[in-house]
Amino acid sequence: MAMPSPVTEELLDYTTSCALPTPWAQFTLHAFVEHATGKEHLAMTLGDIGDGEPVLARVHSECLTGDVLFSQRCDCGAQLEGALKRIAEEGRGILLYLRQEGRGIGLVNKMRAYRLQEAGADTVEANLALGFHADARNYELCQPMFAHFGIHALRLMTNNPRKIDAMEKLGVTVSERVPLLVNRNAFNNSYLNTKEAKLGHMMTPLAEPVALDGEL
């Protein structure tokens, strides 16, 4: 398996790569370490992604409760699974996994926000009540991570227009938005409505949504 040559970027260092078999395909897992925080960020790649053509891509922020603990309060775990499944079906693509839990506020504060939501706040109101921005995520690490693989244009799997704007401001072209819609359930329905109404997420499908379990 060919390994990318280690590179040093202004914001982070590439460290190592290894094979990562999944239920959908055998990806290659790559690790990067952020200079400012020491956080370890990941990329999962499949196929020839450095040929200059726009690459099917997902920029996914860490959600331990959704990605690992199967929480139904959000759509994060289902979107992660759906993105990897789509990349595998296409045979080519990349997923960046950024360590910015809870839209950038951290795991404990996300749990505090959940408590406020249980008392009647929505996800935006809860973050603001705790003294945080509605969405504190930062995508500046994406550009050097994509550049490491020779990627400068994306077919980006997202429902979030702010993520598209962030990529464009970093000089990464988004040639196509690929919707990544998952089925609603009784626990995430209000959350998804808030993402659409207050955060501008585009929840109307342009193509067939990802078929996953958990339909409302």
| Cβ-contact 215, 184 below 8 angstroms | yes
How far, in Å, CA of 136 to CA of 94, rounded?
23
Query: 102 a known binding residue?
Result: yes
Query: 8 a known binding residue?
Result: no
H/E stretch holding 199 reads helix 189-199
Query: 162 a known binding residue?
Result: no
Query: 22 a known binding residue?
Result: no
Q: Which of 137, 155, 165, 213 is catalytic?
A: 137
Q: Which of 73, 122, 135, 177 is catalytic?
A: 135
Query: 60 a known binding residue?
Result: yes
Residue 51 annotated in active site: no
Query: 155 a known binding residue?
Result: no
Query: 65 a known binding residue?
Result: no
- Using the CB atoms, write b or e for 188-212: b if 16+ within 10 Å: beebbebbeeebebbeeeeeeebeb
Q: Could you count the other beta carbons within 10 Å of the beta carbon of residue 102?
A: 25
| Cβ-contact 39, 84 below 8 angstroms | no
| Cβ-contact 162, 200 below 8 angstroms | yes
Query: 63 a known binding residue?
Result: yes
How far, in Å, CA of 68 to CA of 109, rounded?
18
Query: 18 a known binding residue?
Result: no
How far, in Å, CA of 164 to CA of 80, rounded?
18
Query: 123 a known binding residue?
Result: yes
How far, in Å, CA of 216 to CA of 212, rounded?
11
Query: 158 a known binding residue?
Result: yes
Residue 13 annotated in active site: no
Residues of each annotated binding site: 58-63, 74, 76, 79, 101-103, 123, 158, 163
Instruction: Could you list the residues known to form a binding site for Zn(2+), using ranges.
Output: 63, 74, 76
- The binding site for GTP comprises 58-62, 79, 101-103, 123, 158, 163
For the annotated catalytic residues, the residue numbers are 135, 137
